[in-house]
Amino acid sequence: MKTWKIYLSGEIHTDWRERIESGAREAELPVHFDAPVTDHDASDDCGAVILGHEQDKFWYDHKGAKVNAIRTRTLIADADIVVVRFGDKYKQWNAAFDAGMAAALGKSLIVQHDPALNHPLKEIDAAALATAETPEQVVNILKYVIRGALNR
Amino acid sequence: MKTWKIYLSGEIHTDWRERIESGAREAELPVHFDAPVTDHDASDDCGAVILGHEQDKFWYDHKGAKVNAIRTRTLIADADIVVVRFGDKYKQWNAAFDAGMAAALGKSLIVQHDPALNHPLKEIDAAALATAETPEQVVNILKYVIRGALNR
Amino acid sequence: MKTWKIYLSGEIHTDWRERIESGAREAELPVHFDAPVTDHDASDDCGAVILGHEQDKFWYDHKGAKVNAIRTRTLIADADIVVVRFGDKYKQWNAAFDAGMAAALGKSLIVQHDPALNHPLKEIDAAALATAETPEQVVNILKYVIRGALNR
Amino acid sequence: MKTWKIYLSGEIHTDWRERIESGAREAELPVHFDAPVTDHDASDDCGAVILGHEQDKFWYDHKGAKVNAIRTRTLIADADIVVVRFGDKYKQWNAAFDAGMAAALGKSLIVQHDPALNHPLKEIDAAALATAETPEQVVNILKYVIRGALNR
Amino acid sequence: MKTWKIYLSGEIHTDWRERIESGAREAELPVHFDAPVTDHDASDDCGAVILGHEQDKFWYDHKGAKVNAIRTRTLIADADIVVVRFGDKYKQWNAAFDAGMAAALGKSLIVQHDPALNHPLKEIDAAALATAETPEQVVNILKYVIRGALNR
Amino acid sequence: MKTWKIYLSGEIHTDWRERIESGAREAELPVHFDAPVTDHDASDDCGAVILGHEQDKFWYDHKGAKVNAIRTRTLIADADIVVVRFGDKYKQWNAAFDAGMAAALGKSLIVQHDPALNHPLKEIDAAALATAETPEQVVNILKYVIRGALNR
Amino acid sequence: MKTWKIYLSGEIHTDWRERIESGAREAELPVHFDAPVTDHDASDDCGAVILGHEQDKFWYDHKGAKVNAIRTRTLIADADIVVVRFGDKYKQWNAAFDAGMAAALGKSLIVQHDPALNHPLKEIDAAALATAETPEQVVNILKYVIRGALNR
Amino acid sequence: MKTWKIYLSGEIHTDWRERIESGAREAELPVHFDAPVTDHDASDDCGAVILGHEQDKFWYDHKGAKVNAIRTRTLIADADIVVVRFGDKYKQWNAAFDAGMAAALGKSLIVQHDPALNHPLKEIDAAALATAETPEQVVNILKYVIRGALNR
């Protein structure tokens, strides 16, 4: 049986990934979750730490962003479903960028965010096959999509 | 050895999927079958039940159709062979839509329907590699295509 | 300046294509419209007339459907936008098939039909970027999309 | 000779597009510029105005975002170069989404923004072939890329 | 208006290309025809004449076949419709090879040959959208496909 | 470790497939071989036997050729390497057609035939990465390509 | 009639491009030539001059190489034929890189170099449809490929 | 869990592959490494040894290069990450060619070379997601990309 590959992109400061993963585990769904490196400091510093320090902050960031891209692009390209969550803080442009890549690659896109963000996220929601408000709704989508199970 | 992935699209009110699946099982074919969610009510209601009710019937349907699309597009894209059955009732435009997607994606398309529908289905039959009248014929195609076994 | 290529698929018994084309002409939009052969008899008979008669109705239809496909597949593949109209009669499975091809090829899909057909067309509407009720709405979409002109 | 197609995505509240277009005109570059509809109100309201009002703000936005997508996706897919500008206000997630689509489609991506935004934009800058601070730098890139002219 | 690009592959010893081209000219069809180099000796010798003689006949042929491929692959990839004619002499494996490339690239394939060749050409006919017996039938297909004109 | 998928297309009247397969087995190569149905009668009759007799020999063949295409196209698309053998009898246009498909799909193509056929096969050899004279040479290519083992 | 697009990649210190272009002009071939920026200093400095100086030589080069890539990738992707010339000096890794891109994109590749370089260039020659020793041979290939004209 | 497929292209005279492979083994990374045949003599001679001697050195090399391409193109197409190392000797154009193919296929490219080569490799570095100086840095990239582990 197919193992569905789900990439969890976006906000890294709350436990939304854990909530989706534990919900899927409880439901014994045949899924494999991937995500970016969610350790913020490691994600910022990886390029300079591994490949050598950069004085110029732009290139310091640049090296790190590219090393992270090795991971994120590979896993997004592998995914069946890309879930992108937007939180209430930070610019989160990389989340929107991932959503754009996922859409262009024909991935099934699920966006998860507070309704307060509906207006600025309308273009991304328009490219998505589902807009969820909570991680639990994402779990319910996965249950339905993979098992056909609908809890009313 | 290759497990052939077969997507069974279309009519959900008769036992045609079971007949194909049991025929394949008896023949011990290395196949994996997938299908849309065939519980009609669940399929209609999934969007509103999981993501929140909609007053407007159009958006009620829209939400559900998109959630179903997460399943159907992924599995059609995964399939080696897409079988589409047309029954004698209902509009079944989603079956024809799936056939169009399968054809555009270069999938091997098998259409199964009563000869009475030959004329209105001629464009879809023209895109198919086989037009079968019965589920048993589909099983025989699979036996031949996968095993080279031809029962005269 | 870009000439937008619009393919008008579907129902061939009303004047909806003319209404869209004349609306676009009046607005002086830089568009080129294509469509299937809309002479129903020619469309049915082309295979047998050109390539030789067939006794068997299935093959008679088959030959014609394939000759028509030379036109339709080429023009759909060329199009920027595919508009598919569903009328209130006939099976119109070829219209739904065209919509499926257009969606799989990443074309911008506009569906035009009476709201009475909303439920059976929900999967196709879900793949579309717009669902219009009238040909005039399609013209207004083209005006907005191409010129940015919005008549309130 | 080739006319280069340049899509100018992103911020719609300053004159950056005009500055790039007039710079290119002065240099007599063989370029054609496209952009989203930059009339903010029209862009917000187009779906409801053309296709019918929606009570629910989410669907009001949704309809509009999809109508806009007919334009933006077609023109991004047509472009040789996609320039995305980020301003200092608003969420601008659609700009980042366009950048993600452009990157996934293999377009040459130029990002233009104030250095103050370097850190939150590092993933998008990492996918770009140039990060410019001013519209004039974008013009200079176009002059060099198209004509080989480098003003020192 | 679209100029249809038609590639005429296969047999080079009869006047079938001229018959199709003159028929299309008379009908004033908006078509552009391309073909391989039909001067047999030039086609055989081009590699060695341009790039230097080869003692070994295999490499003599190899150099020529590759130089010809620059032309044929480019023009097949450009074509909307690929017509492949099989005559009654020679192996004509390159014609069948071109048909295979055209099919894999999703081109509309028309095969033209004497019915006596139906059995050995059945796989290629099965991939075609039309099997014609005469060049005049090919002209009639083009008239119908491009103009919708059906002469009964 | 990767299992290399090798599709063995072409001539079905000698034991060349067995010779390649047994050579690979002796060398314990991690390979999986696929092939068309090599029972000539089954291959000719499968369409009519499974889907219903046809009076007209063209359609009899057509039905069969399409059912075979379900197998051949799927397995060619799956393959890493396509080996096509040409024997000294029959038209073998389907072998050349398979070679054309393989080339257009970017598969590594190995052609195996007697040097007497070099001239008529020059276009296909020119698209191949190796031209072998014997099945044993094909085995040696596989040993080298997969294991790096070169027996001098 | 088709204008063939030819991209001339590689060595920038001799007049080989002019020789090919003048030969094509004399023969009145319907061709359009493109090339990288061949002013070595401009090519090295463009990034820093346009986008701001870099102290670190690696990033100085990096900025420039990316700006050049906007030109080269676009024009290689546009080309029908990519000609890559290797001279007798310098590393010329960018020429080999362009050849790899061209091959992966399915472009017709012509390599032009002195026979003294045959051995180190064997992998690139093996991916090419022609290996020429002189620019004049490249002109002769173009004459033959485009016009079918073979001067013996 | 995903096994990452890493192709190690380029220089074959030092132990860099072993250093990367042993580093990955120690870290128990879920990776599979592939590489070209690194036995220089076998790589040069494989075509002639398997398929028959060639007097002409160009064709001797050509046959071998094509047999090697069966391996290298298949494995590069399979890879998630392509690492290309440039040493301080030889032309190494095939390494640059592999890098070009990898880039055009959208693979994550890591280049590894001495800083002394920065300038001539700037175009390839510009297409890469990381430029490493040592094999150990490549191992650290893999650890971070696959496990999220960053050793400071």
Least CB–CB distance from G118: residue in H58, H69, H98: H58
Interchain contact C117–E (C-beta under 8 A) = no
Question: Does residue B133 form part of some domain?
Answer: yes
Q: Is the model's pLDDT at E1 over the cut of 90? A: no
pLDDT of residue F112: 98
pLDDT of residue H58: 98
Interchain contact E131–C (C-beta under 8 A) = yes
CB contact under 8 A, C141 and D70: yes
pLDDT of residue H51: 98
Q: How far apart are CA D93 and CA D90, in angstroms?
A: 9
Q: How far apart are CA G122 and CA H43, in angstroms?
A: 11
pLDDT of residue E7: 98
**What residue of E is the nearest CA neighbor of C65?**
E129
DSSP-derived 3-state class of residue H55:
coil
Q: How far apart are CA D45 and CA C150, in angstroms?
A: 9
**What residue of C is the nearest CA neighbor of B125?**
C62
Interchain contact C56–F (C-beta under 8 A) = yes
The domain spanning residue G95 has which CATH number?
3.40.50.450
Cβ pairs E/F, distance under 8 A:
121
Interchain contact D82–G (C-beta under 8 A) = no
Of the residues C53, C56, C63, C66, the best mutation for testing chain F's interface (the one with the most F CB atoms within 10 Å of its CB) is C56
Q: What is the pLDDT of residues B27-53, one digit of tens each?
A: 999 999 999 999 999 999 999 999 999
E8-34: average pLDDT: 97
CB contact under 8 A, H122 and G96: no
How is the beta sheet containing E4-10 ordered, strand by strand? E31-34, E4-10, E81-85, E108-112, E130-132
Question: What sign for the dihedral angle of Cα C36, C42, C48, C52?
Answer: negative
Quickly state the pLDDT bin for E16 (edges 50, 70, 90). Answer: very high
Q: How far apart are CA C58 and CA A145, in angstroms?
A: 38
Q: Is the model's pLDDT at A1 over the cut of 90? A: no
Q: Is the model's pLDDT at H30 over the cut of 90? A: yes
Interchain contact D105–C (C-beta under 8 A) = no
Q: How far apart are CA E130 and CA E138, in angstroms?
A: 9
F97-120: average pLDDT: 98
The candidate with the shortest Cα–Cα distance to C35, out of C66, C3, C5, is C5
Question: Does residue F152 form part of some domain?
Answer: no
Give how far C152 is from chain E: nearest CA, Å: 33
Q: What is the pLDDT of residues C101-150, one digit of tens each?
A: 999 999 999 999 999 999 999 999 999 999 999 999 999 999 999 999 99
pLDDT of residue D1: 79
pLDDT of residue A69: 98
Could you please report the per-residue DSSP string of A35-65? -----HHHHHHHHHHHH---SSHHHHHHHHH
Least CB–CB distance from E51: residue in G81, G106, G137: G137
Q: How far apart are CA D69 and CA C108, in angstroms?
A: 8
A chain contacts of residue B34, beta-carbon cutoff 8 Å? 2
CB contact under 8 A, H69 and G123: yes
CB contact under 8 A, B69 and A108: yes
Question: Does residue H152 form part of some domain?
Answer: no
Q: How far apart are CA F99 and CA F79, in angstroms?
A: 12
CA-based end-to-end distance of chain B: 26
How is the beta sheet containing G31-34 ordered, strand by strand? G31-34, G4-10, G81-85, G108-112, G130-132
Give how far D108 is from chain G: nearest CA, Å: 6
Could you please report the per-residue DSSP string of F104-144? HTT-EEEEE--GGGTTTTHHHHHH-SEEESSHHHHHHHHHH
Of the residues A59, A60, A63, A66, the best mutation for testing chain G's interface (the one with the most G CB atoms within 10 Å of its CB) is A59
Q: How far apart are CA H37 and CA H72, in angstroms?
A: 9
Quickly state the pLDDT bin for F40 (edges 50, 70, 90). Answer: very high
Of the residues D12, D72, D93, D125, the best mutation for testing chain A's interface (the one with the most A CB atoms within 10 Å of its CB) is D93
B chain contacts of residue F47, beta-carbon cutoff 8 Å? 130
Question: Does residue E152 form part of some domain?
Answer: no
H chain contacts of residue F152, beta-carbon cutoff 8 Å? 45, 49
Could you please report the per-residue DSSP string of chain C? -PPEEEEEEE--SSSHHHHHHHHHHHTT--EEEE-----HHHHHHHHHHHH---SSHHHHHHHHHHHHHHHHHHHHHH-SEEEEEE-SSS--HHHHHHHHHHHHTT-EEEEEE-GGGTTTTHHHHHH-SEEESSHHHHHHHHHHHHH-----
Q: Are G7 and G37 in contact (CB under 8 A)?
A: no
Interchain contact G111–H (C-beta under 8 A) = no
A105-134: average pLDDT: 98
Q: What is the pLDDT of residues B102-130, one digit of tens each?
A: 999 999 999 999 999 999 999 999 999 99
Give how far D110 is from chain G: nearest CA, Å: 9
Q: What is the pLDDT of residues G87-100, one digit of tens each?
A: 998 899 999 999 99
Q: How far apart are CA G93 and CA C117, in angstroms?
A: 60
Q: What is the pLDDT of residues F77-90, one digit of tens each?
A: 999 999 999 999 88
Count CB atoms within 10 A of the CB of residue H55. Answer: 9
Q: What is the pLDDT of residues G30-78, one digit of tens each?
A: 999 999 999 999 999 999 999 999 999 999 999 999 999 999 999 999 9
C66: which 2 tokens? 């394939």
Interchain contact H3–F (C-beta under 8 A) = no
Burial class from Cβ neighbours inside 10 Å (0-12, 13-18, 19+) for residue C120 reads middle
DSSP-derived 3-state class of residue A135:
helix
Q: What is the pLDDT of residues E61-119, one digit of tens each?
A: 999 999 999 999 999 999 999 999 999 988 999 999 999 999 999 999 999 999 999 99
G116-124: average pLDDT: 98
Question: What sign for the dihedral angle of Cα D142, D143, D148, D151?
Answer: negative
Rg of chain H (C-alpha set): 16
Rg of chain A (C-alpha set): 16
Residue H130: in which H helix or E strand, if any?
strand H130-132
Quickly state the pLDDT bin for D126 (edges 50, 70, 90). Answer: very high
CB contact under 8 A, D126 and A62: yes
Interface partners of chain F (CB pairs < 8 Å, 3 or more) are B, C, E, H
- Tell me the average pLDDT of chain G: 97
Cβ pairs G/H, distance under 8 A:
120
Chain Cα centroid distance, residue B4? 15
Q: Is the model's pLDDT at G82 over the cut of 90? A: yes
Phi (first) and psi of residue F130, to 5 degrees: -160, 145
CB contact under 8 A, F129 and H38: no
Alpha helices in chain B (DSSP H): 16-26, 40-51, 57-78, 93-104, 122-127, 135-147
The candidate with the shortest Cα–Cα distance to B138, out of E61, F51, C3, F13, is F51
Q: What is the pLDDT of residues A4-48, one digit of tens each?
A: 999 999 999 999 999 999 999 999 999 999 999 999 999 999 999
pLDDT of residue C67: 98
Q: What is the pLDDT of residues H35-94, one digit of tens each?
A: 999 999 999 999 999 999 999 999 999 999 999 999 999 999 999 999 999 999 889 999
Q: How far apart are CA E62 and CA B145, in angstroms?
A: 36
Question: Does residue B152 form part of some domain?
Answer: no
Q: In which residue are the tokens 């710079």 written?
A: D23
Q: Which residues pair with F5 in a beta bridge?
A: F32
CB contact under 8 A, D125 and A92: no
Q: Are G84 and G9 in contact (CB under 8 A)?
A: yes
pLDDT of residue H32: 98
Longest dimension (CA), chain F: 57
**What residue of F is the nearest CA neighbor of H45?**
F150
Quickly state the pLDDT bin for A134 (edges 50, 70, 90). Answer: very high
Q: How many structural domains compose chain C? A: 1
Cβ pairs E/G, distance under 8 A:
62
Question: What sign for the dihedral angle of Cα A38, A40, A42, A43?
Answer: positive
Q: Is the model's pLDDT at D90 over the cut of 90? A: no
Interface partners of chain B (CB pairs < 8 Å, 3 or more) are A, C, D, F
Rg of chain G (C-alpha set): 16
Quickly state the pLDDT bin for F1 (edges 50, 70, 90). Answer: confident
Cβ pairs C/F, distance under 8 A:
9
D85: containing domain: 4-147
Give how far E128 is from chain C: nearest CA, Å: 9
DSSP-derived 3-state class of residue B8:
strand
Q: Which residues contact G48 (CB under 8 A, 6 or more apart)?
A: G54, G60, G63, G64
Interchain contact A41–G (C-beta under 8 A) = no
F36-44: average pLDDT: 97
Question: Does residue A16 form part of some domain?
Answer: yes
Q: Which residues contact F61 (CB under 8 A, 6 or more apart)?
A: E118, E119, E122, E125, F44, F47
Q: Is the model's pLDDT at G117 over the cut of 90? A: yes
Q: Is the model's pLDDT at B17 over the cut of 90? A: yes
pLDDT of residue D87: 96
Could you please report the per-residue DSSP string of F14-41? SSHHHHHHHHHHHTT--EEEE-----HH
Interchain contact E56–H (C-beta under 8 A) = yes
Q: Which residues pair with D111 in a beta bridge?
A: D84, D131
pLDDT of residue A101: 98
Chain Cα centroid distance, residue D122? 18
Q: Is the model's pLDDT at H133 over the cut of 90? A: yes
- Kindly state the percentage of chain F with pLDDT values over 90: 96
Q: What is the pLDDT of residues D40-59, one digit of tens each?
A: 999 999 999 999 999 999 99
Question: Does residue B59 form part of some domain?
Answer: yes
C chain contacts of residue B105, beta-carbon cutoff 8 Å? 104
Q: What is the pLDDT of residues A40-87, one digit of tens each?
A: 999 999 999 999 999 999 999 999 999 999 999 999 999 999 999 999
CB contact under 8 A, B129 and F74: no
Quickly state the pLDDT bin for D103 (edges 50, 70, 90). Answer: very high
Question: Does residue F55 form part of some domain?
Answer: yes
Q: Is the model's pLDDT at C1 over the cut of 90? A: no
CB contact under 8 A, B104 and C99: no
Q: In which residue are the tokens 């000294």 written?
A: F88
H chain contacts of residue E56, beta-carbon cutoff 8 Å? 54-56, 59
How is the beta sheet containing A130-132 ordered, strand by strand? A31-34, A4-10, A81-85, A108-112, A130-132
Q: How far apart are CA D47 and CA D68, in angstroms?
A: 8
Quickly state the pLDDT bin for G1 (edges 50, 70, 90). Answer: confident
Quickly state the pLDDT bin for H26 (edges 50, 70, 90). Answer: very high
Q: How far apart are CA E47 and CA C92, in angstroms?
A: 54
